Structure formats: C-alpha cells, structure tokens
Amino acid sequence: MKMLKKITVLPGDGIGPEVIAQALKVLKAISQKYGHHWEIKEALIGACAIDITGDPFPDASLTACQEADAILMGAIGDPKYDNDPSAKVRPEQGLLRMRKSLGLYANIRPVKIYASLLHLSVFKPEILKDVDFVIYRELTGGIYFGEKVKEATFSSDLCLYHRYEVERITHLAFQQAMERRKKLTLVDKANVLETSRLWRSVVAEISRQYPEVALDFLYIDNAAMQVILNPSRFDVILCDNLFGDILSDEASVLSGSMGLLPSASKGEKSALYEPIHGSYPQAAGKDIANPLATILSVEMMMRDFDYIAEADDIISAVDQCISDGFLTEDLKPTIPVRCSQVGDKVVALILSIK
C-alpha cells in the first residue's frame, strides 16, 4: 500500500552526514519506483547538538523522533569529547537519553557474511561458512541504567532487571527465531549473577509458548569463544544490555568490516535504524566512508514497514555492488570508489530491477 511515512533523520557527527546522504538517495529511489511518500525531518544528536544547543539530545529532537514512523541515524562522537574524560556533557549521553525516552528496549543486529569478501576477514573461510545470525540485545535496562555510586575509595553500578523487561524482548527474539531457523540461544552468566538467573527462568518459561524453537543457554565467556570458533552454530542470540554490547561488537569482526552491518532499535511506539559503526572523524568530509551499513539499515526499515519488495530490491542492489567489487576503500577493492558513488550505484541498481 502506498502511503505517507514520517521519517526523522539524525545525521550526527563525523561521517554520519555522508552515509545518511546516501541512505536518503535510496529512500528517494524507493519513492520514485514504488510511489511511496516520505516526510523527512532532520534533527540534532551528538557532538553537533552540543555545539549548537549545549545538549546532546535537545527536546526538539525528542519531539521529532516521537512524531516519526521511523528514525534514521548516522553516528555520534567527536574527539574533543571522546578524548576528554573530564567533559561533563558527552555525545553518548544523548544516545542513552534517546533510547530511554523513546523506550527503545530491543537492539537488533544481523550478522551476515558475503562470500566475495571472505578474504577481508581475519577468520579462515571454513569458519565463516553458513554464518548468518542475529543478536537481540536488551537496550534500556541493566547495568548501564542502574544507580551509580562513586566515592573516594569505592564505586558501584547497580545491575537491575524487572521481569517485564526480560519478557518483552524475549517474545521478539522467539518471534524472529520462528521466521528463521527456529533456534534461540540465551547468553547469560547464571552461575554467578542473580539477574542472569531471572533471565534464564523467564526465557525458559516463555519458550513453552514457542515449542518449535530449540532453546539453549550459554555463559557469556563460552558464547564469546563460540562466536570465534563456531559462529555458524547460532541463529538468534538473546542477551542483556552489557553482554549484548560486548558480543555484538565481537560478532561484527566476522564480516571483515563494520561498514557492512546495519541495526535496528525498537520500542512499543518508536523504531530507530542505524549502522553499527562509529563516527570515524578522521574520514569526515573525505567522501570515503562506507555507506552500505546505513543503506542496509533502510532495508530493515522497509521490511518493518512491510514493504517487502522494496526491502528485497535494496538487498539485491547491495549484493550486486559487493559482488561487482564496487566498494569503498575499507573493503580493499582493486579500485576504491567514493561513498557518494556507492550511493549512486545502489540507486541505479534499485531502479533497474524489474
């Protein structure tokens, strides 16, 4: 169905505006081909927001995000804040506030390996064979949001989880497993942590509602090892906030470049789509950044809009770009191309698909 969708765009810092520009080209191409209409509104987040307003996530940005059907973000971070441990206001504070304010409790990171880029990975090709999994990370609870204490002789961070926080992301993860290979792995530390014991008991209880899905459990230390030694064993991985943060960054190394991996963060009313890479300030303004992860984040958005043909077009175009070797310098092609050229190529391929 052709309809109007409101999309709030948060270009952010560093290479964020450049990769977002290519994603906007793709949205325009989808609109042209399928007759959809996007109402695009740009807002501030990160270091650029601090520079202009003094706030890493101003109220105007929150309002724009709350009014949107989807949010598309580039990246945040700037050395003048990242390298200053005494900075009172930091870009990451805006990110955490956005997640909490919008209730973005589920972070979803697919990990896919491209056959033509196997040589980029530090792993042997046989290790990467058939690797295709997705990580569901709880995003608004746990140790990152618990009460914090800092004294002269000690510090503490409270790791707190309520049952409902575990339940809601667990259902999402099982629903995803039902659409994939019907296997879910909970990663925890239930031999030591009470919060992990809560996760394990709740997930085991909910699993009875999804009898077709095979459920297994791994401690985080073993899971980190298995992502390296046997990544093809995974289908859907479910984690709390801290373990998911660590494990998803580790898993991103499998593909050979963070520039290939998209993500989505979802709540009851809002959904955010962004590449997993950082702001890469050294490359800002040079037109050399890899926009494919951001473009693939748009693909996740289209699929969540139930625009399946549109999403499939984006996947096909990106796959063709990669197989043709039409790639930015991070992917070490014979002849590197520009960030903007990749965007133009993906658009041309989308429009050529019958």
**Any idea which residues carry the catalytic annotation?**
144, 189, 221, 245, 249
Q: How far is it, in rounded angstroms, from Cα 29 to Cα 347? A: 6
Which one, of 139, 106, 70, lies nearest residue 300 by Cα? 70
With contact defined as beta carbons under 8 Å apart, do 72 and 298 qualify?
yes
16 contacts 73 by C-beta, under 8 angstroms = yes
CA distance linking residue 254 with residue 16, whole number of Å: 23
Rounded Cα distance, 293 and 23, in Å: 9
Which of 300, 254, 315, 266 minimizes the C-alpha distance to 113? 254
Closest CA to 132 of 109, 166, 102: 109
Report how far residue 323's alpha carbon sits from residue 312's, in angstroms, rounded to the nearest whole number: 16
Packing angle between helix 339-352 and helix 308-323, nearest 10 degrees? Answer: 130
**Cα–Cα distance measured from residue 97 to residue 222, given in angstroms and rounded to the nearest whole number:** 32
| CB within 8 Å of 105: residues ≥ 6 apart | 138, 139, 140, 141, 165, 168, 169, 266, 267
Q: How far apart are the first and last CA of the chain?
A: 18
Q: Please list the residues that pair with 107 across neighbouring strands.
A: 137, 265
CA–CA separation, 227 and 231 (whole Å): 4
d(CA 94, CA 76): 9
Give residue 64's identity as a one-letter amino acid code.
A
Beta strand residue intervals within 259-321, DSSP E: 262-266, 271-275
